[in-house]
Amino acid sequence: MRIVITGGAGFIGSHLCDFLISKGHFVICVDNLLTGSMKNIEHLFGNSKFLFIKHDVTNYIHIPGNVDVVLHFASPASPVDYLNLPIQTLKVGALGTHKALGLAKEKKAVFMLASTSEVYGDPLINPQREDYWGNVNCIGPRGVYDEAKRFAEAMVMAYHRYHKVDIRIIRIFNTYGPRMRLNDGRVVPNFIYQALKNLSITVYGEGKQTRSFCYVSDLVDGIYKLLFKKYHKPINLGNPCEMSILEFAQLIKKITKSKSKIIYKPLPQDDPQQRRPDITTAKKILSWEPKVLLKDGLTKTISYFKKIV
């Protein structure tokens, strides 16, 4: 297939580029490098099955020739990024999704939206099922990301209902692995960097808030399986193994053999207290569930960070 990936130079997007090329597909990576990096894809330059186009997808997207699949993964995705880039985050969720859908409609391609567990906000149910509508503060500092993705889902469903575009929507839960940025602001790179440098590991609140961590290869496997299923509703992709942030900090200390102390700071506004996917639908529709154990995935991720710290 000929596959377009917006945000293909980002953390997840670049792993998708590698995986799809390994499966024999031709990949067109479209990225303006706002939060993506050429380092994530430079090993693909010269590959006959790879093409990079530097472009802001909030503008019209022109791709010559046929396109079989459009994967829309372009967006700032960490709190640091979308708090520093609020307008760009909203624009790529709205205008970027519109332009990417327009490309899929024009080419009669399958369209997949990379949505997020953040559409559930600070959830009042745990685990979160796809039929839960969420608890989101639309005018809070995190609202720019949460609502951008919620709007994107609504637009994707509108294109499916009105224009008959063959769509997929994945709600991604905390994913980690090599190629995350050191200054990403998310808990995995933060804790690993602090531990490797023997700096104080910063836990917000009392560390009782929970997260569920999915290794990137598991996520990519789920994405690929969904491409071949005619399933047009949102589907959770993540690891249902839940742990507190404090437990996670202690695990990072143990694996890295760090001398870091754990310190506590005030909880950021609207920080979700629980985050755990119900993956019943993914198991049923895709015969998918995560395989990589947290300790194994973290060991690989830490090895990557040791090279760049």
Catalytic residue numbers?
A: 145
Q: Quick one: three-class SS letters along the chain?
A: CEEEEECCCCHHHHHHHHHHHHCCCEEEEEECCCCCCHHHCHHHCCCCCEEEEECCCCCCCCCCCCCCEEEECCCCCCHHHHHHCHHHHHHHHHHHHHHHHHHHHHHCCEEEEEEEHHHHECCCCCCECCCCCCECCCCCCCHHHHHHHHHHHHHHHHHHHHHCCCEEEEEECCEECCCCCCCCCCHHHHHHHHHHCCCCEEEECCCCCEEECEEHHHHHHHHHHHHCCCCCCEEEECCCCEEEHHHHHHHHHHHHCCCCCEEEECCCCCCCCCCCECCHHHHHHHCCCCCCCHHHHHHHHHHHHHHHC
Which pairing describes strands 50-54 and 167-172: parallel, antiparallel, or unpaired?
unpaired
Question: Is 7 exposed, middle or buried (CB count within 10 Å of its CB: 0-12, 13-18, 19+)?
Answer: buried
In the block, residue with structure tokens 């900090």: 249
Distance CA 104, CA 98 (A): 10
Q: Per DSSP, what are the bridge partners of residue 202? A: 263
Which region, left, alpha or beta, applies to residue 50 given φ > 0 means left and ψ of -120 to 50 means alpha? Answer: beta
